[in-house]
C-alpha cells in the first residue's frame, strides 16, 4: 500500500467510496418521500457515470441496468439491501468473499450486537 498522502489507487478509492455509499444508505429515512426517492435515483445514476475508475463505472452501470438490479429506493431497509447486493457483485467479480446482507445494518448503522462499536 501507498503512503496515505498519495493520490488514491483503485483500492483506496473503493474502500472510501463504499464507506460513503453504505453510510449514505444508513442515513436514508426508513420511508422515503417521493422527492427523496427521485433524488437518490438521480444520485446513483450520476454516480455510476462519474465514478473515477472508468472500468469500475462501466461494469457498475451495466449491472444496474440489468433486470432486477434497478436501485430500490423506497426506504432504508430495501436500499441497504440493494447497496449490499451491488457491493457483493463487485466482491464476486474480484474473487472476494460475499458479505451477509442480513448484517449490513450492524456493519454500517447500529454497530455489532457484541457492543464492540459502542
Which of the 8 DSSP states describes residue 6? S
Contact with ligand FAD (CB under 6 A) among 14, 71, 75, 77:
14
9 is written with which cell numbers?
489507487
List the x/- string, 88-107, binding to ligand FAD by CB under 6 A: x-xx--x-x--x----x--x
Q: Are 11 and 53 in contact (CB under 8 A)?
A: no
Residue 55 lies near ligand FAD (rule: CB under 6 A): yes
Stretch that binds ligand FAD, among 12-20, 29-37, 38-46, 71-79 (CB under 6 A): 12-20
Nearest to residue 14, comparing CAs of 76, 64, 59? Answer: 59
Amino acid at each position: 500500500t501507498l503512503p496515505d498522502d498519495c493520490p488514491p489507487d483503485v483500492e483506496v478509492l473503493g474502500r472510501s467510496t463504499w464507506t460513503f455509499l453504505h453510510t449514505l444508505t444508513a442515513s436514508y429515512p426508513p420511508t422515503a418521500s417521493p422527492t427523496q426517492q427521485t433524488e437518490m435515483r438521480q444520485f446513483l445514476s450520476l454516480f455510476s457515470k462519474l465514478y473515477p475508475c472508468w472500468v469500475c463505472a462501466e461494469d457498475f452501470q451495466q449491472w444496474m441496468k440489468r433486470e432486477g438490479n434497478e436501485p430500490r429506493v423506497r426506504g432504508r431497509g430495501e436500499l441497504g439491501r440493494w447497496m449490499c447486493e451491488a457491493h457483493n457483485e463487485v466482491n464476486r467479480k474480484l474473487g472476494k468473499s460475499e458479505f451477509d446482507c442480513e448484517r449490513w445494518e450492524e456493519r454500517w448503522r447500529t454497530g455489532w450486537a457484541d457492543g464492540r462499536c459502542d
